Amino acid sequence: MLTSERRARRPPRSLRAEYDQFIEQRIEEYKDSLPRADILAIGDEAMHEMSDALQLQLTEVVLRDQVDSIIRRRLRLPSFRRWREKHVALRAAQVQPGHWGLGPHDPVAGLAELIEEGDPVLVIGAADGACPLFLAAHGATVHVCDPDIAAIYGLESRSVTEQLGALIECSVIQLERFEPFAWFVACVIEAAALSGLRANERAMLIERLKAVTPEGGRHVIMPVSSSRGPREARLASDALKSSYVGWDIIRPNAPVGRGRGRNIGFTAVRPRRSDTEEEVSN
Protein backbone atom coordinates (compact mmCIF):
# COMPACT_ATOMS: atom_id res chain seq x y z
CA MET A 1 0.00 0.00 0.00
CA LEU A 2 1.01 3.63 -0.46
CA THR A 3 1.39 4.35 3.24
CA SER A 4 4.22 5.59 5.39
CA GLU A 5 5.30 2.02 6.11
CA ARG A 6 4.78 -0.56 3.40
CA ARG A 7 3.59 -3.93 4.59
CA ALA A 8 4.72 -7.25 3.20
CA ARG A 9 3.21 -7.70 -0.22
CA ARG A 10 -0.03 -9.63 -0.34
CA PRO A 11 0.03 -12.86 -2.31
CA PRO A 12 -1.85 -12.55 -5.61
CA ARG A 13 -5.12 -14.37 -6.09
CA SER A 14 -4.74 -17.90 -7.40
CA LEU A 15 -5.65 -18.60 -11.01
CA ARG A 16 -8.17 -21.17 -9.80
CA ALA A 17 -9.94 -18.48 -7.74
CA GLU A 18 -9.99 -16.12 -10.74
CA TYR A 19 -11.35 -18.90 -12.94
CA ASP A 20 -14.13 -19.76 -10.49
CA GLN A 21 -15.05 -16.09 -10.28
CA PHE A 22 -15.06 -15.82 -14.08
CA ILE A 23 -17.41 -18.81 -14.44
CA GLU A 24 -19.74 -17.57 -11.70
CA GLN A 25 -19.93 -14.11 -13.24
CA ARG A 26 -20.76 -15.47 -16.69
CA ILE A 27 -23.51 -17.71 -15.28
CA GLU A 28 -25.07 -14.91 -13.22
CA GLU A 29 -25.01 -12.55 -16.21
CA TYR A 30 -26.82 -15.18 -18.26
CA LYS A 31 -29.45 -15.66 -15.57
CA ASP A 32 -30.00 -11.91 -15.36
CA SER A 33 -30.61 -11.77 -19.11
CA LEU A 34 -33.42 -14.36 -19.03
CA PRO A 35 -37.11 -13.83 -18.22
CA ARG A 36 -38.49 -15.69 -15.23
CA ALA A 37 -40.25 -18.28 -17.40
CA ASP A 38 -36.97 -19.34 -18.99
CA ILE A 39 -35.27 -19.65 -15.60
CA LEU A 40 -38.11 -21.89 -14.40
CA ALA A 41 -37.76 -23.98 -17.55
CA ILE A 42 -34.08 -24.55 -16.78
CA GLY A 43 -35.08 -25.55 -13.27
CA ASP A 44 -37.48 -28.15 -14.70
CA GLU A 45 -34.71 -29.44 -16.94
CA ALA A 46 -32.41 -29.74 -13.94
CA MET A 47 -35.08 -31.68 -12.03
CA HIS A 48 -35.47 -34.06 -14.96
CA GLU A 49 -31.71 -34.65 -15.21
CA MET A 50 -31.54 -35.50 -11.53
CA SER A 51 -34.57 -37.77 -11.54
CA ASP A 52 -32.42 -40.86 -12.15
CA ALA A 53 -30.19 -40.12 -9.16
CA LEU A 54 -32.75 -41.13 -6.55
CA GLN A 55 -30.11 -41.68 -3.92
CA LEU A 56 -29.16 -38.01 -4.15
CA GLN A 57 -30.89 -35.87 -1.58
CA LEU A 58 -32.61 -33.06 -3.44
CA THR A 59 -31.89 -29.73 -1.82
CA GLU A 60 -32.01 -26.14 -3.01
CA VAL A 61 -28.21 -26.09 -3.24
CA VAL A 62 -28.11 -29.26 -5.35
CA LEU A 63 -30.77 -27.90 -7.69
CA ARG A 64 -28.97 -24.60 -8.07
CA ASP A 65 -25.71 -26.37 -8.89
CA GLN A 66 -27.48 -28.43 -11.54
CA VAL A 67 -29.01 -25.31 -13.06
CA ASP A 68 -25.55 -23.73 -13.17
CA SER A 69 -24.20 -26.86 -14.85
CA ILE A 70 -26.86 -26.63 -17.57
CA ILE A 71 -26.11 -22.96 -18.18
CA ARG A 72 -22.40 -23.69 -18.31
CA ARG A 73 -23.01 -26.23 -21.08
CA ARG A 74 -25.25 -23.81 -22.97
CA LEU A 75 -22.65 -21.06 -22.85
CA ARG A 76 -19.85 -23.51 -23.68
CA LEU A 77 -17.71 -22.03 -20.95
CA PRO A 78 -14.08 -23.17 -21.12
CA SER A 79 -12.41 -25.69 -18.86
CA PHE A 80 -9.85 -24.39 -16.38
CA ARG A 81 -7.00 -25.57 -18.60
CA ARG A 82 -8.29 -23.79 -21.72
CA TRP A 83 -9.16 -20.65 -19.78
CA ARG A 84 -5.73 -20.55 -18.10
CA GLU A 85 -3.86 -20.67 -21.43
CA LYS A 86 -5.72 -17.62 -22.73
CA HIS A 87 -5.93 -15.81 -19.40
CA VAL A 88 -2.19 -15.75 -18.72
CA ALA A 89 -1.52 -14.24 -22.15
CA LEU A 90 -4.34 -11.72 -21.67
CA ARG A 91 -3.07 -10.55 -18.27
CA ALA A 92 0.45 -10.17 -19.65
CA ALA A 93 -0.92 -7.78 -22.27
CA GLN A 94 -3.26 -5.93 -19.89
CA VAL A 95 -0.52 -4.81 -17.50
CA GLN A 96 1.10 -2.87 -20.35
CA PRO A 97 -0.09 0.75 -20.71
CA GLY A 98 -0.17 0.45 -24.49
CA HIS A 99 -2.86 -2.23 -24.31
CA TRP A 100 -5.27 0.49 -23.15
CA GLY A 101 -3.99 3.28 -25.36
CA LEU A 102 -1.99 4.82 -22.51
CA GLY A 103 1.54 6.09 -22.96
CA PRO A 104 4.47 4.97 -20.80
CA HIS A 105 4.85 8.58 -19.68
CA ASP A 106 1.22 9.02 -18.57
CA PRO A 107 1.21 9.63 -14.80
CA VAL A 108 -1.05 6.63 -14.14
CA ALA A 109 1.66 4.30 -15.45
CA GLY A 110 3.87 5.20 -12.49
CA LEU A 111 1.03 4.56 -10.05
CA ALA A 112 0.61 1.00 -11.29
CA GLU A 113 4.16 0.20 -10.21
CA LEU A 114 3.34 1.12 -6.59
CA ILE A 115 -0.05 -0.41 -5.89
CA GLU A 116 -0.40 -3.88 -4.40
CA GLU A 117 -2.93 -6.66 -4.85
CA GLY A 118 -6.30 -5.51 -3.49
CA ASP A 119 -5.32 -1.87 -2.88
CA PRO A 120 -8.44 0.37 -3.11
CA VAL A 121 -8.12 3.05 -5.78
CA LEU A 122 -10.71 5.70 -6.60
CA VAL A 123 -11.11 6.98 -10.17
CA ILE A 124 -13.03 10.19 -10.82
CA GLY A 125 -14.32 10.11 -14.39
CA ALA A 126 -14.70 6.96 -16.47
CA ALA A 127 -13.41 8.57 -19.69
CA ASP A 128 -12.59 5.75 -22.13
CA GLY A 129 -12.04 3.27 -19.28
CA ALA A 130 -8.28 3.00 -19.79
CA CYS A 131 -7.21 4.07 -16.28
CA PRO A 132 -9.53 1.88 -14.18
CA LEU A 133 -8.98 -1.16 -16.41
CA PHE A 134 -5.21 -0.72 -16.38
CA LEU A 135 -5.14 -0.45 -12.59
CA ALA A 136 -7.49 -3.42 -12.16
CA ALA A 137 -5.16 -5.48 -14.35
CA HIS A 138 -2.46 -4.72 -11.77
CA GLY A 139 -4.67 -6.09 -9.00
CA ALA A 140 -6.18 -2.90 -7.59
CA THR A 141 -9.79 -2.80 -6.43
CA VAL A 142 -11.12 0.17 -8.39
CA HIS A 143 -14.18 2.32 -7.68
CA VAL A 144 -15.19 4.65 -10.51
CA CYS A 145 -17.46 7.68 -10.11
CA ASP A 146 -18.92 9.57 -13.06
CA PRO A 147 -22.16 11.49 -13.68
CA ASP A 148 -22.33 10.17 -17.26
CA ILE A 149 -24.37 6.96 -17.25
CA ALA A 150 -23.35 6.13 -20.83
CA ALA A 151 -19.66 6.27 -19.86
CA ILE A 152 -20.32 4.01 -16.87
CA TYR A 153 -22.25 1.48 -18.96
CA GLY A 154 -19.44 1.47 -21.50
CA LEU A 155 -16.84 0.83 -18.79
CA GLU A 156 -18.88 -1.95 -17.18
CA SER A 157 -19.34 -3.68 -20.50
CA ARG A 158 -15.66 -3.43 -21.37
CA SER A 159 -14.59 -4.64 -17.92
CA VAL A 160 -16.60 -7.84 -18.41
CA THR A 161 -15.11 -8.40 -21.85
CA GLU A 162 -11.62 -7.94 -20.42
CA GLN A 163 -12.42 -10.30 -17.50
CA LEU A 164 -11.81 -7.51 -14.97
CA GLY A 165 -15.40 -6.85 -13.92
CA ALA A 166 -14.93 -8.34 -10.45
CA LEU A 167 -12.30 -5.71 -9.63
CA ILE A 168 -14.24 -2.65 -10.80
CA GLU A 169 -17.25 -1.05 -9.10
CA CYS A 170 -19.01 1.90 -10.69
CA SER A 171 -21.26 4.68 -9.38
CA VAL A 172 -23.29 7.18 -11.38
CA ILE A 173 -23.18 10.33 -9.26
CA GLN A 174 -22.99 14.09 -9.59
CA LEU A 175 -19.40 14.90 -8.64
CA GLU A 176 -20.23 18.13 -6.83
CA ARG A 177 -22.23 16.00 -4.35
CA PHE A 178 -19.84 13.08 -4.12
CA GLU A 179 -18.74 12.26 -0.57
CA PRO A 180 -15.93 9.66 -0.44
CA PHE A 181 -17.06 6.79 1.75
CA ALA A 182 -13.74 5.11 2.55
CA TRP A 183 -9.99 5.53 2.50
CA PHE A 184 -8.26 5.05 -0.84
CA VAL A 185 -4.54 4.56 -1.25
CA ALA A 186 -4.67 6.56 -4.47
CA CYS A 187 -7.08 8.63 -6.54
CA VAL A 188 -6.97 9.11 -10.30
CA ILE A 189 -8.74 12.21 -11.61
CA GLU A 190 -9.67 12.59 -15.25
CA ALA A 191 -9.40 16.37 -15.62
CA ALA A 192 -12.12 16.40 -18.27
CA ALA A 193 -14.61 14.97 -15.76
CA LEU A 194 -14.26 18.14 -13.67
CA SER A 195 -14.64 20.55 -16.57
CA GLY A 196 -18.38 20.98 -15.97
CA LEU A 197 -17.93 22.01 -12.34
CA ARG A 198 -17.49 25.55 -11.09
CA ALA A 199 -14.07 26.42 -9.69
CA ASN A 200 -15.28 26.30 -6.08
CA GLU A 201 -17.00 22.95 -6.67
CA ARG A 202 -13.78 21.50 -8.10
CA ALA A 203 -11.79 22.80 -5.14
CA MET A 204 -14.24 21.40 -2.58
CA LEU A 205 -14.36 18.00 -4.32
CA ILE A 206 -10.56 17.74 -4.30
CA GLU A 207 -10.47 18.67 -0.61
CA ARG A 208 -12.89 15.84 0.14
CA LEU A 209 -10.73 13.45 -1.87
CA LYS A 210 -7.59 14.60 -0.06
CA ALA A 211 -9.28 13.97 3.29
CA VAL A 212 -9.55 10.22 2.54
CA THR A 213 -6.02 9.85 1.17
CA PRO A 214 -3.41 8.47 3.63
CA GLU A 215 0.06 9.87 4.14
CA GLY A 216 2.18 8.90 1.18
CA GLY A 217 -0.97 8.44 -0.91
CA ARG A 218 -1.15 9.85 -4.41
CA HIS A 219 -3.53 11.79 -6.60
CA VAL A 220 -2.90 11.26 -10.28
CA ILE A 221 -4.25 13.99 -12.55
CA MET A 222 -4.60 12.71 -16.08
CA PRO A 223 -4.11 14.95 -19.10
CA VAL A 224 -7.06 15.73 -21.34
CA SER A 225 -6.99 14.45 -24.90
CA SER A 226 -9.58 14.01 -27.63
CA SER A 227 -9.40 10.23 -27.31
CA ARG A 228 -10.15 10.09 -23.57
CA GLY A 229 -13.92 9.98 -23.57
CA PRO A 230 -16.75 12.09 -24.98
CA ARG A 231 -16.31 15.23 -22.90
CA GLU A 232 -15.05 18.39 -24.46
CA ALA A 233 -11.52 19.18 -23.31
CA ARG A 234 -12.07 22.53 -21.60
CA LEU A 235 -9.91 22.11 -18.49
CA ALA A 236 -6.14 21.72 -18.64
CA SER A 237 -4.73 19.34 -16.04
CA ASP A 238 -2.43 22.03 -14.62
CA ALA A 239 -5.50 24.05 -13.64
CA LEU A 240 -5.81 21.66 -10.68
CA LYS A 241 -2.28 22.18 -9.33
CA SER A 242 -3.35 25.04 -7.08
CA SER A 243 -5.45 22.56 -5.06
CA TYR A 244 -2.32 20.67 -3.99
CA VAL A 245 -0.33 23.32 -2.13
CA GLY A 246 1.89 21.51 0.38
CA TRP A 247 1.82 18.24 -1.56
CA ASP A 248 4.82 17.03 -3.56
CA ILE A 249 4.22 17.48 -7.29
CA ILE A 250 5.75 15.02 -9.75
CA ARG A 251 5.68 15.94 -13.42
CA PRO A 252 5.86 13.19 -16.05
CA ASN A 253 8.85 13.01 -18.35
CA ALA A 254 6.91 13.91 -21.45
CA PRO A 255 8.47 12.75 -24.74
CA VAL A 256 9.52 15.23 -27.39
CA GLY A 257 6.53 16.88 -28.99
CA ARG A 258 4.18 16.25 -26.08
CA GLY A 259 5.48 18.61 -23.42
CA ARG A 260 3.77 21.74 -24.71
CA GLY A 261 1.19 23.69 -22.74
CA ARG A 262 -0.29 22.90 -19.36
CA ASN A 263 -1.93 19.59 -20.12
CA ILE A 264 0.50 16.72 -19.58
CA GLY A 265 -0.86 15.71 -16.19
CA PHE A 266 0.94 15.32 -12.88
CA THR A 267 1.06 13.30 -9.65
CA ALA A 268 0.53 14.88 -6.23
CA VAL A 269 1.91 12.99 -3.21
CA ARG A 270 0.55 13.66 0.26
CA PRO A 271 3.58 14.26 2.51
CA ARG A 272 4.17 12.07 5.51
CA ARG A 273 3.85 13.76 8.87
CA SER A 274 7.48 13.10 9.78
CA ASP A 275 8.64 14.81 6.58
CA THR A 276 6.44 17.82 7.26
CA GLU A 277 7.61 18.14 10.87
CA GLU A 278 11.24 17.96 9.73
CA GLU A 279 10.68 20.77 7.22
CA VAL A 280 9.05 22.93 9.90
CA SER A 281 11.89 22.36 12.34
CA ASN A 282 14.46 23.21 9.70
**Domains parsed from the chain with CATH numbers:** 15-80 (no CATH), 98-281 (3.40.50.150)
Residue type, 129: G
Which of 267, 266, 123 lies closest to 194, judged by CA? Answer: 123
What pairs with residue 144 in β-bridges?
A: 123, 170
Tens-level pLDDT at each residue, the chain (282 residues) = 554 344 455 566 677 887 887 888 888 888 888 898 888 888 888 887 777 655 555 567 778 888 888 888 888 888 888 888 887 888 889 999 999 999 888 999 999 889 988 999 999 999 999 999 999 999 999 999 999 999 999 999 899 888 898 899 999 999 999 999 889 999 999 988 998 899 999 999 999 999 999 999 999 999 876 555 555 556 788 889 999 999 999 988 766 555 445 678 899 999 987 655 555 454
User: Contact, 94 vs 133, CB < 8 A?
Assistant: yes
Inter-CA distances, 116 with 4, 11, 19, 217, Å: 14, 9, 20, 13
Q: How far apart are the first and last CA of the chain?
A: 29
Which of 14, 15, 25, 68 lies closest to 156, judged by CA? Answer: 25
